[in-house]
């Protein structure tokens, strides 16, 4: 087992950027560009960052996958609903009409898998840095006006990516040293 590297923000940024790029390029034929980040200690008294590109108007499909082991955390991947639908069609080779017929369950499963692959890529970076951990099963959150607030002692990093006018937000909550 290699000596564990310190998990700091640049490393987290590197892992998540690589993971988002790999997944969106390989599975969706898109090249997302990193556009910004915010960082908070959950108990620093500041409000958590907004969950997605907008709140209260556009519905979101949010995939969640956790990682458990020497390091624990959760990643939420936010896609607005139109982008989630477009991504599902591309991934499964479906038309919009076919997707309409198939229903939301198919979108949930597709975004769950996109999140699973993204968090998998991120987690593999952590494992190779000396923090062995395992993935949890994905879950999906849908809605247009909600916020996710972590418990105290977690560090929160939010990274925003953009691809052809569509935003993807990776919201990372990490607890180190449990």
Partner 1 sequence: MRYKILTTDDSKTVRIIVRKAFKAYDCEILEASNGVEGLAIAAKDAPDLILLDVTMPVMDGVEMLTKLKADPQLKGIPVIMLTAEGGRDNVLKIAKIGIRDYLVKPFKEEVLIEKAGRVIDLKPLAEQQAKAKSIFDPADILVVEDKPAIIQQFRDGLKHTPWRVHGVSTQGEAVDFCNKTPPDVAIMSLSLPDEGAFTLFRVLRTNAKTKHTPIFALAVKTEAAQQQQAQTVGFTAIVTKPIDLGEIETKICKALNLDTSQRYFSIQGGCLIMRLPENSSPGVLAEVNTYLKAKVSEAVDAGLTKMIIDIHELKNLHMGVIKVLLQTMQTARELTLQFALVGNAQIVAECKGFEDTRNWVFYDSIDEAKSNLGKTSSGASAQMAGV
| Strand locations in 47-165 (E) | 60-69, 71-80, 133-135, 139-143, 155-163
17, 64, 116, 158: which one binds partner 1 (CB under 8 A): 116
Helix residue ranges per DSSP H, 93-163? 96-102, 104-128
42, 132, 141, 142: which one binds partner 1 (CB under 8 A): 132
Q: Which stretch binds partner 1 (CB under 8 A): 7-15, 37-45, 87-95, 159-167?
A: 87-95
Q: Is 48 in the site for partner 1 (CB under 8 A)?
A: no
Q: Is 1 in the site for partner 1 (CB under 8 A)?
A: yes
* Region for residue 29 given its phi and psi (left: phi exceeds 0; alpha: psi -120 to 50; beta: otherwise): left
Among candidate residues 80, 130, 132, the one with its CA nearest the CA of residue 107: 80
Smallest gap from Cβ 53 to partner 1, in A, equals 23
Overall residue count recorded for the chain in this entry: 178
* Closer Cβ to partner 1, 53 or 159, answer by number: 159
9, 26, 58, 147: which one binds partner 1 (CB under 8 A): 26
Whether residue 167 contacts residue 161, with contact meaning beta carbons closer than 8 Å, is answered with yes
CB atoms within 10 A of CB 50: 14
Neighbouring C-alpha atoms within 13 Å toward the C-beta of 21: 9
Q: Which stretch binds partner 1 (CB under 8 A): 10-18, 51-59, 89-97, 150-158?
A: 89-97
Smallest gap from Cβ 65 to partner 1, in A, equals 9
* Binding region for partner 1 (CB under 8 A): 1, 22-23, 26-27, 91-93, 106, 109-110, 112-113, 116-117, 119-121, 123-124, 126-128, 132, 134-138
């Amino acid at each position: 087992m290699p000596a564990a590297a310190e998990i700091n923000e640049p490393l987290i940024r590197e892992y998540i950027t690589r993971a988002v790029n790999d997944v969106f390029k390989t599975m969706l034929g898109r090249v997302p560009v990193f556009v910004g980040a915010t960082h908070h200690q959950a108990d620093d008294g500041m409000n958590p960052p907004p969950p997605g590109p907008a709140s209260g108007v556009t519905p979101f499909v949010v995939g969640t996958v956790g990682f458990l082991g020497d390091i624990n955390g959760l990643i939420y991947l936010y896609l607005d609903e139109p982008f989630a639908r477009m991504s599902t069609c591309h991934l499964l080779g479906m038309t919009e009409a076919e997707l309409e017929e198939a229903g939301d369950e198919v979108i949930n499963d597709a975004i769950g898998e996109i999140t699973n692959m993204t968090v998998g890529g991120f987690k593999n970076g952590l494992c190779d840095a000396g923090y062995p951990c395992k993935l949890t099963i994905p879950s999906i959150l849908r809605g247009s006006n909600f916020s996710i607030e972590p418990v105290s002692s977690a560090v929160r990093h939010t990274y925003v990516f953009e691809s052809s006018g569509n935003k993807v937000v990776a919201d990372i909550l990490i607890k180190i040293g449990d």
